[in-house]
Amino acid sequence: MQERAKKRWEDQTLTGIGRLPARASRFTDSSAVESLNGEWKFLYLAAPEYSPQGFEQPDFNTDGWDTIPVPSCWQTEGYDHMHYTDVLYLFPLNPPFVPSENPAGIYKRSFEVPADWMENTTILRFDGADSAYDVWVNGNHAGYSKVSRLPAEFDISSYINAGTNSLTVRVYKWSDGSYLEDQDMWWFSGIYRDVTLLNSPKQRIEDCRIHGDLDPSYTDGLFSAEIRLSMAGGALSWTLSDPEGKKAAEGTVSPAEKTFSIEAKIPGVKKWTAETPALYTLTMTLEGDAGAHTVSFRTGFRKIEVKGNVFTVNGKAILLNGANHHDYSPEGGRRVDPEVMRQDVLMMKRHNINAVRFSHYPSIEAIYDYCDEYGLYVIDEADLECHGFEWAHIYDRISDDPEWEAAYVDRGVRMVERDYNHPSIIMWSLGNESSFGVNFKREAEAIRALDSSRLIHYEGDFEAEITDVYSTMYTWLGPLKEIGATKVKHNKPHVHCEYGHAMGNGPGCLADYEELYHTYDRLQGGFVWEWYDHGIRSEEEDGTVTYKYGGCYGDFPTNGNFCIDGYLMPDRTPSPALLELKQVFCPVSVKRAAESTDLYQVKNWYDFKTLSGVALSCTVTDGKTAVSSFTIDNLSAAPGEEELVLLPCTVENPEGNADYYLNIRVVEKESTSYAPAGHELGVFQFLLPVKKTVYAERKAGTVSVAEDAARLTVRAAGTEFVFNKVTGVLASMEKSGKTLISRGPVVTVDRADIDNDMYKVYDWNNKYFVSRGMEQLEYMTVRQSDDRAAVYIQKYFGCYCQAWGFKLSYVYTIYGDGSMDVSLNGRAVRNREFEPAFLPRIGVELYAAKPLWNVSWYGLGPGESYCDSRQAAIMGIYETDVDGMHTDYVKPQENGHREKAGWLAICDREEGILIKAKEQFGFNVHDYTAEALRKAPYPRDIKREDYLILNLDYRQSGLGSNSCGQEQTESCKTPIEDFTMAFSIRPVKREEILSEARTEYK
């Protein structure tokens, strides 16, 4: 059989044609720059072979071609089709070959060259195009490149003319490089990053690699730079300026060689860290025969080392509170706006994130400048992932194939050469989820030869054979603790490169992970997955905006909404998870000292800063109204240290039955580069031992009881309670003829599916049928006295075809003032080998009248909270409406739960009901059912009811992050167990909610 001939885009040994050596990105450059962004002529083809003859020629007629914006992804512009996968390749695994019908796009435009450019060197630069491309200038083949997320430069000086010139680019959707670009993301194609022309003197500064090191005492800066010129000669002057713009060092050189070095010692240098991002600027001017060329680079001084089982920055072990970041836009796909990237960095800083991993490829150059400037530690990752080979059980197929060595090394080396000068980068990552093999060894060697000052990271080096850190992803709490407590994998420092998978509602357990990081030195933190949801914005005919995910475009195979897994919604609205993360990552913690209620321990979790820059803004409150406020602004704890602070709190004449709290907000005293003065870093709350218990006499009244074969009716103080005698369910509660409750309470063990339960919901719904629970009436009777009536009901609760369930005992006590106490006892009936390991929830469900739209409660708030995700919530009295109880997750699921409630009221403008419990409870209030959430692909598809659904929970399971990682911890699971619930329901005037809620009856 004849061997298949390789096409240019099917040759893994070919890293490029005509491409200039990679070089470091610069902060400024005096070269003339012309952007070629804008509208280009565009022809979409099913395969490159269908290209029209002579398409690359300047005079080729493009009439009838479309136009397309550059930069853009052609799928977002209506060509080809959207397709999302996590792991799967969209072609057979036959490397290096790709599908014969390989979609291609021909881009064509003209550009003007000034006459004075002709004496200089003109470089054509592409910052990124997916996945490979050929370039023609005036019909001449200028080059070929691949690696979608790295730039390529071509010297086109010999191809251009003064005046009008023609540029043609043919981009290939698939190439041999596609085998190395199987990252978890949408498959996008096209020229999606900037295209520019640079015109520089022939004698110019070509490249510069800066070393900002520290002496062994971490006091003085050791500056050096390796400079490469286009040609020897001329005179080079240089100045190194400190963060205030003052001259720190300078010099002149008359270079006899194209490559040379400069160096200087900087006494008492200002060191760069993520907490103190001090930037120096190197400015160089080369005076040559053809004129001057000036460039500048920013740099910082820091030293990265491994000491024992920790890595250090400037001699101190650091904790990475990081996030994984993709380049993504809901409108433009992989085309991103630098200003949006700046806002991403600012938002990270404002949410106590101190590190970012660019997963799983180098990001746009601007974001590294922002990380340098505002202060984020960076793991820079090579554009390399071949995860789909694991699916075929040949995971190391190309990672251990020497024929692919050049491709692996090229991706790592070009990343380092581009990003070398950024002080924020502390680790180079060899790639992601590509198994291990000889090619990673060669890549690591090549990177170390270029830069030995930073650490090497790669999670796929499972034995930590060639890396400087031992990296794992989605490690459960138990195994992670074991790593921290032992010396496995050569006792190397551990980095949790992915955890806290934020798919849909979640994750939980973030605080548990942070506690481990604080406990074990070797565990140096990690990076939550991931910064934002990758939903594609779609405006429907009715104007409704939805965000689509895998499968919404008919794409198959797909991983569905697995791309909706961020701490930001697709429109970059913070999710509840981001607020939780901010509190968990707070660099200051406050605890009450055991020996005194007025003494508090303030812990400084910063690695380099004292607490002199923060203050404690303290408020004594009854949950609704501030009683007193004061500020502590003389903190001084050193990094890692604690200090005791006296916070005396007194409440004169406390309100009867009110709880009082000390709320401590940790705030920035002065404005920073990323936030104004007063910016809140975190909040801590303490219940004060101030409570005056007062009892009131219940209003007297009579109770009447009437019943027939179907109904039992109890009336008191204008309130009517009707029980269905067939089902034993409270069928209605009315006040003066107005319906308040139309059904319930009835027991439920169901909640709408959440993504983080993806491995449990099938069994819950299709094996144990938790969504098909029902109560069966066993016994019902009523006992009446002068001022009350008690309805006793016994039932059995179970689910379809299940032998486990609960024996239920309800007691409804209705008083003469129109209020009702509900007591519910459940006794578990077990079927241990054939029952779920735990339940989504145990609680009751009620239907209420929809006009009771306003919601107020005393409990955790203001946002949603779950038992393993409630660090950001504090106790208080909150008000919203039913819409405000809803969290608009891209794919509808359980949402809006509030924990630790003492009471809950729902009202219309005038009146409603007050629900008050003896023990704290959790609750939801919505106008849709759990089943409606299950069936709705988008929020706009949720079927709304003409009544409200209230869930009152004895217990609801936590969130976990088991869509990819740790499931709920044992303490946050809801076992099948005996339970008790007790609460009262009473009609209430809206203006009397608080006073009634604080009334305790004898």
Residues marked active site are found at 433, 498
829 Cα distance to chain centroid: 41
Q: Coil, strand, or helix at residue 941? A: helix
149: which 2 tokens? 């997320």
3-state helix, strand, coil in the chain (%, to 5): 15, 40, 45
Can you name the residues that pair with 404 across neighbouring β-strands? none
> Are the beta carbons of 457 and 493 closer than 8 angstroms?
no
Q: What is the CA radius of gyration of the chain?
A: 33
* Residue 114 identity (one-letter amino acid): P
Query: Helix 438-450 vs helix 405-419: angle between axes, to the nearest 10 degrees?
Result: 30
The secondary structure of 511-549 as a DSSP string is: HHHHHHHHH-TTEEEEEES-SB--PEEEE-TTS-EEEE-
Q: 70: left (phi > 0), else alpha (psi -120 to 50), else beta? A: beta
Q: Coil, strand, or helix at residue 726? A: coil
787 Cα distance to chain centroid: 56
> Residue 160 burial (CB < 10 Å; 0-12/13-18/19+)?
buried
Tell me how far apart the alpha carbons of residues 451 and 414 are, in angstroms, rounded to a whole number.
12
Can you name the residues that pair with 917 across neighbouring β-strands? 983
Tell me how far apart the alpha carbons of residues 397 and 404 are, in angstroms, rounded to a whole number.
10
Can you name the residues that pair with 603 across neighbouring β-strands? 589, 642
> Are the beta carbons of 101 and 47 closer than 8 angstroms?
yes
The secondary structure of 757-775 as a DSSP string is: GTTTHHHHHHTS-GGGEEE
Dihedral Cα 106, 109, 115, 120, nearest 10 deg: -40
The secondary structure of 328-394 as a DSSP string is: -BTTTBT---HHHHHHHHHHHHHTT--EEEETTS---HHHHHHIIIII-EEEEE-S-B-THHHHTT-
Nearest to 210 by CA among 450, 452, 420, 456: 420
Query: Helix 510-519 vs helix 477-485: angle between axes, to the nearest 10 degrees?
Result: 10
